[in-house]
Amino acid sequence: MAEMQTATTIEQLRTLVSCAKKSGSKIGFVPTMGALHEGHISLVHEAKKHCDFVVFSIFVNPMQFGPNEDFHRYPRPLQDDLKLCTDAGVNLVFIPSVEEMYPTGFSTVVEVNGLTNNLCGKSRPGHFKGVTTVVMKLFGQVQPDAAYLGQKDAQQALVIKRMARDLDLPIEVVICPTLREADGLAMSSRNRYLSNEQRSVAPLIYKGLCLLKEDVALRKHESSAQYRLDLLKRLEAIPNGVVDYVEIVNADSLEVLEKMNGIVLIAVALKLGNTRLIDNIIINTSA
């Protein structure tokens, strides 16, 4: 197996990807902010099933953090991340600096309207503008055939998929299942912030979602508002947890639903201490 390569500049990246393309390789791409876990690595494994050359980016994007968010303390264990990439069989890791991505005078943004109005978009104004701008840049730099994203960040994945569709990008955006710890907690780079006490109660988020799914199967309520209220009460009962949002929305449009019709996304965000955790499940109410 060829040794994993790294690039820190766009020029280096393009040269290496161009060589791979000339040899006929299909290019898969996994964009990340680093602080890797098995969820990220599962995206690599999926990419390797369908692509010949996998590019992986590690860039903590300042543009998607709000003024009081955790940009400066966001974990950056680069050597550990590179070892995980090597072990997973990544071909090329792109590790640009902030100056490389946003040179002096940078003044362009990419924004997807509608899908960003609620959920995390409502809680974190400007967040998705930062996400779509950096991902559009990365797509232009890597020019992959397919990009692999995680379902845990459901809104983000849908927004990026819509951006690619609306801007006619020749990139297949693949959304892969959420990976979970043995107790159900969705894998996240931010889990490492949790104290032992917080970590012990964090799985109650997913437990609440699973209980709602059971209630839906039993046709417990007529309206989605009552399901939402039940889930809200369960999350509010988590010790020292502060609920950011609980929403029941259409899984494609993210519009709030009055009734549980079609394919439904139940999405939640909750803070434990200073750590904001998100999770979601999808229910096909027609099944």
pLDDT computed for residue 194 by the predictor: 97
Options 37, 40, 50, 221, the catalytic residue: 40
- How confident is the model at residue 138, as a pLDDT? 98
Second CATH level (architecture) for the domain 189-284: 2-Layer Sandwich (3.30)
Domain residue spans in the chain?
Answer: 5-176, 189-284
pTM (two decimals): 0.96
Query: Which long-range contacts does 249-255 make (Cβ < 8 Å, 24+ apart)?
Result: 249/118, 249/119, 251/282, 252/158, 253/114, 253/115, 254/114, 254/115, 254/117, 254/118, 254/119, 254/155, 254/158
Backbone φ and ψ for 122, nearest 5 degrees, come out as -75, -40
Kindly give the confidence (pLDDT) of every residue in the chain, 287 residues in length, as a single tens digit, with 9 standing for 90 and above: 679 999 999 999 999 999 999 999 999 999 999 999 999 999 999 999 999 999 999 999 999 999 989 999 999 999 999 999 999 999 999 999 999 999 999 999 999 999 999 999 999 999 999 999 999 999 999 999 999 999 999 999 999 999 999 999 999 999 999 999 999 999 999 999 999 999 999 999 999 999 999 999 998 888 999 999 999 999 999 999 999 999 999 999 999 999 999 999 999 999 999 999 999 999 999 87
**Is residue 40 flagged as an active site residue?**
yes
The pLDDT value given to residue 220: 86
- Residue pair 35/61 in contact by the 8 Å Cβ criterion: no
CA distances from 158 to 105, 162, 165 (A): 30, 6, 10
Q: Look at residue 222 in the predicted model and tell me its pLDDT.
A: 82
Nearest-angstrom CA–CA distance, 279 and 155: 11
Q: Which CATH architecture does the domain made up of 5-176 adopt? A: 3-Layer(aba) Sandwich (3.40)
pLDDT attached to residue 1: 65
